[in-house]
Copies of this chain bind each other. A is one copy, B any other.
Amino acid sequence: MSAQSIPYKTYLEESELPKNWYNVRADMKNKPAPLLNPGTHQPMTAEELGGVFCADLVAQELDNENRYIPIPQEIVDLYKMYRPSPLVRAYYLEKKLGTPAHIYYKFEGNNTSGSHKLNSAIAQAYYAKKQGLKGVTTETGAGQWGTALSMACSYFDLDCKVFMVKVSYEQKPFRREVMRVYGASVTPSPSMTTDIGKKILEAHPGTTGSLGCAISEAVEVAVKSEGYRYVLGSVLNQVLLHQSVIGLEAKAALDKLGVKPDVIIGCAGGGSNLGGLIAPFMGEKLRGEADYRIVAVEPASCPSFTRGVYAYDFCDTGMVCPLAKMYTLGSDFIPSANHAGGLRYHGMSPILSQLYDDGLMEAVSVEQTKVFEAAELFARVEGTLPAPESSHAIRAAIDEALKCKETGEEKNILFGLTGTGYFDMVAYEKFHEGEMSDYIPTDEELAKYRAMLPKM
């Protein structure tokens, strides 16, 4: 198919929606390291995990063998409310850059949560309902995951308790209000409603919270409340599994167009979007059927891949969660002010961590101001105002396209546009006012938190 005949937006038919999630672990020679019990340092059993997570999700979490896992029809039907999402050819961005590269992006922002998070939220709410639960608890940073889960819970008539990192709660009152529309309750974290919250507030009065701390509170409430379980929007194997619909759709659309991407780029916080986008491509790479460059983009202020270590670490501040082996900056690391709230997590998905450690993917880190420059450029030519998180991928895609301009290469670049920035206008304002920080942690700082990693 010639370039001219490629549409701006390629939509699959609803009948072409993936019927199975793709489990990349089945094709990994080196499996991701298991979650460990924080007390015994032994691999978590299904029974132990079942106290925190829904039963079916535990099974998915532990399943390293089945390559395809069927998507229940009820979930497929709810996916149809906003999926298939479009694969967009960024003609206007290419023209603006004057690059011979062909740029494609998979746009996951066309739903009220504003991001890809709904893909896993619907799945997790479905399994919670199937198990007969009353409700679920979770944490949210930037608010996309909390919004997505609120929406999913409203579809299934489940109660939804969200602990929102205090600084986000205060900076983004509208996010809270959106969750209320869907019937969720939202508590700023750390709060006085949990033991761990009280402990943290005692030790750090005036703290504005962190994802790790909100996770601890949400887990505590789930474990202590009859008929509740905890759900998480990133990092876990199950989440990457659900998010594989992004990559499966993107690949199906590119196959239709007869396009093979040379490089695939995604932003990486906990890894849910990147893991989902790259899944089927990585599968081909692992099976030796094709080769792709795969690039994770992270903020320079929170560089888990590029400056972290691959080690077992706590997932949360309260140390109530299992230990995960991941690229990490240490669970006590709190990044400096960065407006990409979804990329402020100290660790990285165990699946992606193993793939990165095996040299199957690359990582780059980018500074905040450069990210917003890319975001604004993108908005002005492609229309969509991107989320700060997604704009990390835009930045890297633009840099790749500019390299192609130098070399004259007609590379196919695919990146994930995970979401929209409509609730991030404070960040854009700071950018316009020149008040944006590009602080990067020093080696000494990173060493301090690294020294606090659990001794194994």
Contact = CB atoms under 8 A, between A and B. Distances in A.
A383 B151 contact: yes
Contact of A181 (B173, B379, B382): B379
A422 B382 CA distance: 20
Contact of A177 (B110, B112, B425): B425
Contacts of A7: 13-14, 80
Contact of A92 (B81, B111, B114, B420): B81
A429 interface: yes
Interface in A276-307: none
A393 to B, nearest CB: 18
B379 A182 contact: yes
A448 interface: no
A31 interface: no
Nearest to A384: B112
Contacts of A82: 383
A178 interface: yes
Interface residues of A, number: 41
Contacts of A420: 112
A224 interface: no
Interface string A301-320: 00000000000000000000
B174 A425 contact: yes
A68 interface: no
A44 interface: no
A81 B177 contact: no
15 contacts: A7-B13, A7-B14, A7-B80, A111-B383, A111-B384, A114-B422, A151-B383, A154-B379, A154-B380, A155-B380, A178-B385, A180-B428, A181-B385, A422-B422, A422-B423
Number of copies: 2
Given A154-B380, A177-B432, A9 B80 contact: yes
A373 to B, nearest CB: 12
A439 interface: no
Given A112-B384, A385-B112, A425-B174, A376 B181 contact: yes
Interface in A351-370: none
A342 B381 CA distance: 26
A432 B8 contact: no
A328 B376 CA distance: 41
A11 interface: yes
A183 interface: yes
Given A7-B14, A11-B11, A383 B81 contact: yes
A110 B112 contact: no
A183 B380 contact: yes
A342 B342 CA distance: 33
A428 B80 contact: no
A168 to B, nearest CB: 15
Interface string A408-434: 000000000000101101101100100
